[in-house]
Structure 1
């Protein structure tokens, strides 16, 4: 690889991964105009169009997709090798991309970002907030956080934080007007706030436990959301019954303030919660290992599991 081709390829990969020039430029810490010129000159040198750009959208050509698919794994290996050499000379450094849902961000990562920055000032940590289930390798992430039930079998996973619990909740005024459900089946007679994962067409069935088994209830209602914290806010305004993970950030303050009332608690036991996971590889880059070890230690379950 000659001259600036490595940096040009790194810029091209960033554009495809981010999906637009502005986000890629921010990731590379250059201006969008500089990035656009870099890619234009790169295309001229190799004699192939890699991207189709309009004022409103960007797409990857067939040649660009083939180049991206072949080069991205090599780029990650080269960046890891460079990071290891730098680490031999001093502080751990490099870029680490983590993807996680909003609730995991609020409870497991946000409270520790200051400590992480002080402990690893040379690591560039990129957080992708996504409530959908994704392929972390295919989407270019090094580490992810997800629920244990959603883990793929070929991933390395470590438990993060305590067990979770999902609760149905409603505002006192809603219950005063429409009554309080005593069993999960009675939810079918109520206005429930449905939830659907981003990128999915399937509506989530509310899950409860009774007589030694878990079962789902397909509730109905006039409101559908893609984020459960939105459902909690709507429920607190009397829009219906919501079903969400208990959290000290979103649910507990509303319960403590008397704006939400927990329902059907005996049908809602705890279950294994969040896991940090990453792909198996022969040698984990030092920066990725530092991120894993730091957030694992910061969120170690109290029972030692």
Structure 2
């Protein structure tokens, strides 16, 4: 092993250690600030820590602080982020429901498809699909080589076909759900001087454009895609970036400014 290669490994190890230590330091600084009653400073430290790494505890703590300040859009955003990282934490789900209630935003009830065909179940359905495919192949080979009764194949075909169709649909639907999560945003607040909880979706990108409709802080929207399958946005002359968004039921659609929402999953630059 060359000395330059050893130095590179040492350098990368140090960077990883420093970044890990920095994230921990910011997290505990936030806890101390929170304990002392300095909510704004605690939020600042938590946000800085979230730029380094994401944890359910971090976003859960942030959500609670925003809730205390009455910033329910921010609270909903970070509860959602925390649940993505720890979906089994029932306390987070309960707090999220309470935040929705305080924000006056209707929390979409979980449907059968949204539960068992959600993005979280995608790995499960991929495994099931592969099992069905390989079992079918093995069954055909077994019948062919061992001269088993074709009646076995006759009875197996409908069952395997049904399982194949179900698992294929599940993989397709779950994949779409996962893709939508990458485009999902949470409305935070208006960027105007009043900083209200009602955000106008514009007909065109820009402050001077008329409102097409309005949405409330805490609502979930989906960012549209352009012809290149990228997030559809427009940068206006003053440097502001606007995104074309819509509600999940397609009833509300328009342009929203970048600082009026938060990404559920931060896009990769």
For the aligned pair, the TM-score class normalised by the smaller chain equals: under 0.3
Q: Which has the higher strand share?
A: 1
Rg larger in structure? 2
TM-score, normalized by length of structure 2? 0.26
TM-score, normalized by length of structure 1? 0.23
